[in-house]
Structure 1
Amino acid sequence: MRREQCVSLFRKVMDSVCLLLRSHPQLTTQVLSSERYEQIQMCEDDNVTLLCVQMWIHTCTGKDFLSEFSDDSALLLLNEAVGQLAVSSASSVGGASVRLILLMANQQEARVKPLLLSFRGLDSLLDKDWRGRGFDQEVDQLIAIIQSDARILPQACSERVRAACLIQAAWRSFQTRRRLRSLNRAVCKVQRRYRSRRRQQQEHEEEQRGEEELRFQVCVRRQQARRKFHQKQRQLLQLLPPDQVQWYLQECERGAAVVIQSYWRGFRERRRYNTHTLRHTHTQQHAARTLQRAVRLFLQSGEQRRSPPLSVVTATEADSFLSPSGAIAARARDSHNALLQAGRLPWWRTGGDEDTFSPAPLQELEAELGGLFVGGQIQI
């Protein structure tokens, strides 16, 4: 197949792709990123490259084609055009690429101009390599667009930088103020705790100092009182005749010994009374109460068994069931109270004699109750 036939067939294929993309612009990204199209771009034939660029020019001239373009598709198409300007040396390919970029910039200025700024050095490339090729006017227009955007960009960047600096300054000042407030609160809290702890320590030290001073004053007063007492004794000894000094000292020693012995005997008797007498008395009282309770229950149960029902009891039978238990119980209670009162007397009232209660009434009660223990000690 001849070269001219291949080129004509390839032109028909590109025309078909152009018609397809005009009807379905969403397929542009798939076409630009397909492997087949990448193989076509790798071809070194200028005619093939020119047909590809012309296909995109015819496609972009369609109504509202670029408006339905996505940013990714526009960037891919610009990459292809700028790449042809950087790689190819054919004037036809360069002119077609410049016209494609101008077409996109004129139709979608707001979207394409920021994308052109990402290709740094494009204006210098156009000025050095593509002037004097027969499309200088188009090259000048494209350079003017790029440089106008480049002049606007520093202003926008400077405004953005200024705004960012203002925001950062405001945020840093806010953080600094908040940190200062937190530091002030923390410092106040630390100072408050330190002052309270120091105040507590001072109060504790003052209390200790007061207690020490009080103890010291007590010791000093005791020493002064002891000194005064010794001075008074010395003065009294000076007033006594010499032959009575020894007798006076012996009397003082005897009085001190009597006081010490009295305190010791009182302590010993109280301890003995608390440990032995009270325990023995409590045991006796508890045993007496237990026995009395058992006897009363036994007597009540016996009376209930012997007594007839109230419906058949006559006055004569009721008199026969009367017993002197009330008087006996009263006498037993009196004797028990007397025994308790006698047991509570101190040792110096009893004189060491524990049998202070007369057993005569108790013997009579024992005889009447038939050997029932009422309270106290009975010698039978």
Structure 2
Amino acid sequence: ICWLFGGHIQLTECVLQNDHFLQLLISDSVETAVPMMSVLHSILGVNSSVLLQVDEEILHSVLDELVYKLSSSTNPVIGNAATKLLLLIAKFCKQLLELLATRYKGLNVLLSKQWTGKGFDRDLSQLLDLLYLEQSNGKGEMQRQHQAACVIQAAWKGFQTRKRLKKLPQAVTALQRSFRAKREQELQLLKKQKEDEALKLQMQLQRRKAMRLFHERQLALLEIIHPSQINKHMQEMEVKSALTIQRFWRGYRARKNVHQQKQSLREYKAAVIIQRAACRFLEKRRRKRTLSSWKDPRGLTDEQRVALQQKVDDYIKLHPASQMSEEMSKELHMQAQEKLAQFLLRSRLDQRAAQRRETLLAQVNTDVELLMNAPQLAESTEKDLAVFMSRSVPVATKAKESHSAMLKYARWPWWKKLGDEFEEDDVIPDDTLNAELGSLFIGGRKSL
């Protein structure tokens, strides 16, 4: 085989690419591995650049096998052959030396520790010198790249620093503006808190003063009242207080219910508007369909007209019309007229009822909007109260009478209210309600 290589150099590449050669090279047997390494040494001696001509995968496989034999075997024969091959590869091609230095970084340590003093120190020292020289060149290149990276970083950091220094006045101005705005906001918040605390303290003082005046007024009234009338006076004061509490509680509960119903009423109105728009849209589309689907009837031919006329004549012969007297026709005409009159009368009544329902619905909606937009008792003014008052003297008199009746009912003794303990808080006896149903007034007009 080695003799054939001398005259046919192109065979070296074919031998290295052969799978059988690689299988024999990776064998663990010394009798097989050493001759294969000698054949590889002869191939490199004939064609030193053959490893650069084969595939990268084959090159890595050969180098891995040689390094593996140096790391796993302790036989001096295998170590000598592998060292000579690596030395020959490193001498002939610088690219392969760089590959050995970069791919197998611990190779020089392995060679110096494991194979020193094994009988081939000369080749081993040459290989170690080449590896150390390549590593030093690589370190110098790395150091040079590191210095270049430091120069680039310094230039970039200087550029960034100069750029920030140029923008520093604007940043300082923005910072001062934001600091002043924040400080102004904090001062306003602190001022508002102080005002709220002062107002709260003032309200407490006014409440205490009003409470003191109220107690003084009560004591003055108790001094004026006869001792026998004190209990009656106290009962009247308790009743008034209870009525005031009930009035405020019922007003609060009514306002709360109205606020809760606002959202549902708004949703209901929105649903009505959407439904109305959808109905209009569907009606328009239905009309368009009816208009677009209309087609003129086709004319009949003479034969079809004759056949249709024959069918009509045959049907008339089979179903002759019954003879009706003049009296029967008049009676039938009268019945039709009566039914028509009844229908027209009923339609008018239905129309009036529908108008009345629409009027009542509009009135109810107006009253609901008036109640929903009504201000609270603490915020109400005389103008707001005038909206709920009637200018009619009979209506105002009737309202006064109903109010007096409610107050009289509230002053009744307990034995007259024994039938009312299971009623709700908002339920009022029928005799007092009858006085109010006829004079219910909302929004400046009388509701029937």
> TM-score, normalised on structure 1?
0.38
Larger Rg: 1
Structure-2-length-normalised TM-score: 0.33
